[in-house]
Structure 1
Amino acid sequence: MKILYVGDGRSRENWGAKATSAALLDLLSKNNSVPNTVKSELKTRKFKLHTNIPFTGGLEKLVIDRNKKPIFKTLYSVLKRLGLKNDYITEDVDLSLKNFLHIKDFYPELKKTYVDLVASDAVVLNGEGTFIFTTPPRRDAIFFLVILRLAQSLGKKTYCLNAMISDCPVNGRNQRTVDQMVDIFKKCDGITLRDPYSYQFLKEIAPDLKTRFVPDALFTWISRIEEKNYLPTSQDKILQIYYGKEIKLVSGDFSQPYICISGSSLAAWTKDKAISAYVDLVNKLKNTNIQLFIIPTASGDSFLSEVSRLTNVPLIPESINIFAGAAILANAEVFVSGRFHPSILASLGGTPCVFMGSNSHKTLTLQDMLEYSDPIEYNAIPSATDIEEIFDQVVLILGNVKDRKVKIRNKVRTLAKAAEREISVLVK
């Protein structure tokens, strides 16, 4: 079967998007042809909607520069009254699809997506962490639903795989988005949820949908980690260390025990508070007398650069090779994080995690999948009490880390086999 793979995040620096996109693509390619993909960047890129006026490259520049010069802002307002709209994606999926078809010939990326879709037998959507029912709705969720609706209208098979479904922890549930998603999912040939919480949640809000819980595709990377050593050598200068305002690159010794710390998708919303709390957390973890590494694994973790500077703890940049990054996490003694996929990367080597909150149920459901005996999730921006308890938990883990690693690795192998088996059966 010829597949158009939508949501390909391999070109992003975000570790989760990059690694999971590659892992799911590997599984799909075993029994199918995947000649074309739609990059995940397309789901958030705005394309201006042509309506009553001609639209040229000059107007494109005007739209982009309207906030830089007052005259541009005035001209933009006039053009907007005449019918120029800033984005083809709206909260309405069907209207957004109509807009997509209206403007696709003006934009090469949209035109290619349409042509590739027409030439395919099926569309497979990498659902990842998109379907969080925020208000207003996430733009990427609407984009994904537009592509599925378009594929269904053209008689293509449609699949939404490796998805997470969740209410928004801040605004609750956007029922309109839920209703549109369920309507489109009813016509899909396969829907898989990457975690049991998402599976149960979707069953509750749409009991008639045919869905499966299939462990996240990233678990299948355990074979990569076990078959080859991707750890940076003592000569590789990958660590950033701050000397005042100057940043120097130095090599790291990953042969000795170390602890990794990353951020959280929820902490990224209030970066000033996050910096202060994470500085306190890192300084407390220094009392373990084990080497610490700070690892921003997504753009939302950018505040960790300042944490690294203020604590003088080396930072492993987000831009590092993903296999090297995975190996670093997989060989750590402990990983303190509120990130879902980076925690899976750590688990590939059996690294125990101490979890903080995120923008959904992600870190709690991962503990269930990995059969943690006492799942706990600390605040995304840890309080003073949280920091003390995180430290105590890290010390407890260090006391029997070898046994914990064996148990976690064994569970990951089971999850990996299930993911590979289920995807191979469903999509063919």
Structure 2
Amino acid sequence: MKICFVNDSTSQNNWGCRATTYAMYDLIRQTDAEVVSVVKLGALNGVGMDLFSLKSRAISLLKEYAYDKPRLRASLRFMQHAARRKRHGKLADPVTLADFDMTAREVQAGRLFPVTRAAIDQADLILVNGEGSIYNFEKKGRMTLFWMYYAKKYAKKKCAIVNHTVQLNDPRMLEIFKAVYPILDDVVFREPASYDEAMRYFPYLEEDLAADAAFRWKPLMGDHFLESYGRLGACSIFPYDAGDFDPSKPYLCITGSSALVRAEDKDPIDRAPFFELCARLKDIGGQVVVVAPDITDETLLAPVAREMKLPFLPAATPLGIGLDILANARVFVSGRWHPSILASTGGTPSVLFSGNTHKIAGLGRLLGLPDASIDAKRLGDATPQILDMTRRFLDEGEVRRSDILARVAGHAKLAERNVRCLMS
């Protein structure tokens, strides 16, 4: 079977994007199917993703500069959307089912998105790695739905969406969801909050709930970990420094959240809660390693790590290093979905605070973690709660870690459901 893999996110400066796409490819390789074409996440967002082009790098640098300047970021976002619409009009950004049909006819006629159309034409089945795209009224979610609609109704292809979260908190997205999901050949959710939400509209089966492919990663542990990271500078990623981090001694990790440093945020970045958290965590857990699995976390936390002289791992850290550091931590304080999964593969419990969707609540259920309902934008208020949960996990030690590892083993097996449509 020839596959068009939609939402390849390996070129994103984000540990989780890379982790889940590589894991999905590994699952596909264990079947008789062949990936003959891909659609990058950048294409779903309406931008080119030639990582090494001058234009791509310039845009990336400008965005990074603007993360800490809300007004400039909002202006850039407005100009970017205006430029896209000027080039193709509303057809390049369909927002209703009627728009879907108009855009689909333009694609079919060869007047719009010829590269994506060619990728779909090559395949027998369109396999969509949904991840966390379908929420609010995000363009990447709308375009994911559009290409599934086009693939089924116009290209007459088999189509499945797997490995994904869906949060239908916008009535416009809900309307499209109700039209697209019933015509798909397979649907597989990655966590129970999304499964429960979809069950409100369609009678999905227990077998339609799986787990994220990232649960299949295997970190270096114990002596193998110490052998790899005990060398001087082994965790220092230029231009940042891991300082005097000693992997032979206990340590905690902390990161940000997908709910923070959003493009639509109007207020300046508030780092004060992270300064306090890092200081308090250091008092109870010894070493604190600050990690930035996404470029937004880097913008948020690099100044914290630099001022407090804490080891820091940036977004460009090789995935294997990030995996191993998280998996060997005693506790991870996190509002990030994939990094918390990577941590769990070594048994590390996460003190979870909110992300940009209900996926974090779903992850807590998967890992048997207490639901603290901590709002990422009110971390200062939740500092005592976070510290109490951290102490609890430290006290539980290997009992908690063993429970998490047992759950991870089950989820790694369940993740195989993401490619069940390739086995029929």
Partner deviation per Cα, 1:342-374 (whole Å, 9 max, x = no partner) = 1000000000110111112122211111123x3
Distance in 1, Cα, partners of 2:341 & 2:240: 30
Q: 1:233 to 1:151 in 2, by over 3 A?
A: farther
**Which amino acid in the other structure matches residue 211 of structure 2?**
P
Of 413, 418, 421 in structure 2, the residue corresponding to residue 423 of structure 1 is 418
Counterpart position of 2:199: 203
Secondary structure in 1 matching 2:271: helix
Q: 1:392 to 1:178 in 2, by over 3 A?
A: same
| Structure-to-structure mapping, 1:14-413, within 5 angstroms | 14-31=14-31, 32-46=33-47, 85=89, 88-96=92-100, 98-99=102-103, 102=106, 110-132=113-135, 134=136, 137-152=137-152, 153-167=154-168, 173-207=169-203, 212-222=208-218, 229=224, 232-239=229-236, 250=243, 252-269=245-262, 272-301=268-297, 302-372=299-369, 374-413=370-409
The answer to whether the 8 Å contact 2:237/2:317 transfers is no
Distance in 2, Cα, partners of 1:361 & 1:83: 35
Identity rate of aligned residues, in percent?
26
Distance in 1, Cα, partners of 2:47 & 2:100: 12
Secondary structure in 2 matching 1:328: helix
Q: 1:258 to 1:321 in 2, by over 3 A?
A: same
Shift of 1:6: 0.2
Secondary structure in 1 matching 2:254: strand
Q: 1:2 to 1:235 in 2, by over 3 A?
A: same
Partner deviation per Cα, 1:270-324 (whole Å, 9 max, x = no partner) = 5745312111211221212511111111123121112223322221111011111
The answer to whether the 8 Å contact 1:94/1:146 transfers is no
Shift of 1:42: 1.2
**Which amino acid in the other structure matches residue 375 of structure 1?**
D
Secondary structure in 2 matching 1:376: coil
Shift of 1:419: 1.7
Instruction: Find the structure with the greater CA-based Rg.
Output: 1
Secondary structure in 2 matching 1:256: coil
Distance in 2, Cα, partners of 1:239 & 1:279: 21
Secondary structure in 2 matching 1:400: helix
Secondary structure in 2 matching 1:255: coil
Distance in 1, Cα, partners of 2:139 & 2:125: 23
Secondary structure in 1 matching 2:4: strand
Gaps of 5+ in 2: 49-82
Q: How many residues end up aligned between the 2 structures?
A: 383
**Which amino acid in the other structure matches residue 361 of structure 1?**
H
Distance in 2, Cα, partners of 1:333 & 1:91: 45
Distance in 1, Cα, partners of 2:23 & 2:85: 46
Shift of 1:268: 2.3
Shift of 1:29: 2.6
When normalised by structure 1's length, the TM-score is 0.81
Q: 1:189 to 1:284 in 2, by over 3 A?
A: same
Matched, 1:12 2:15: no
Partner deviation per Cα, 1:152-175 (whole Å, 9 max, x = no partner) = 1221100000110114xxxxx222
Distance in 2, Cα, partners of 1:268 & 1:121: 39
The answer to whether the 8 Å contact 1:161/1:191 transfers is yes
Distance in 2, Cα, partners of 1:119 & 1:191: 22
Distance in 1, Cα, partners of 2:363 & 2:357: 12
Partner deviation per Cα, 1:118-145 (whole Å, 9 max, x = no partner) = 111000101100111x2xx210011111
Gaps of 5+ in 1: 48-78, 168-172
> As a proportion of its length, which structure holds more helix?
2
Shift of 1:239: 3.2
Moved more, 379-388 or 5-14: 379-388
The answer to whether the 8 Å contact 2:36/2:122 transfers is no
Shift of 1:400: 2.9
| Larger RCO (CA within 8 A; separation ≥ 6) | 2
Distance in 2, Cα, partners of 1:229 & 1:272: 42
Shift of 1:8: 0.5
Distance in 2, Cα, partners of 1:81 & 1:282: 44
Distance in 1, Cα, partners of 2:176 & 2:90: 23
Moved more, 98-107 or 341-350: 98-107
When normalised by structure 2's length, the TM-score is 0.81
Counterpart position of 1:75: none
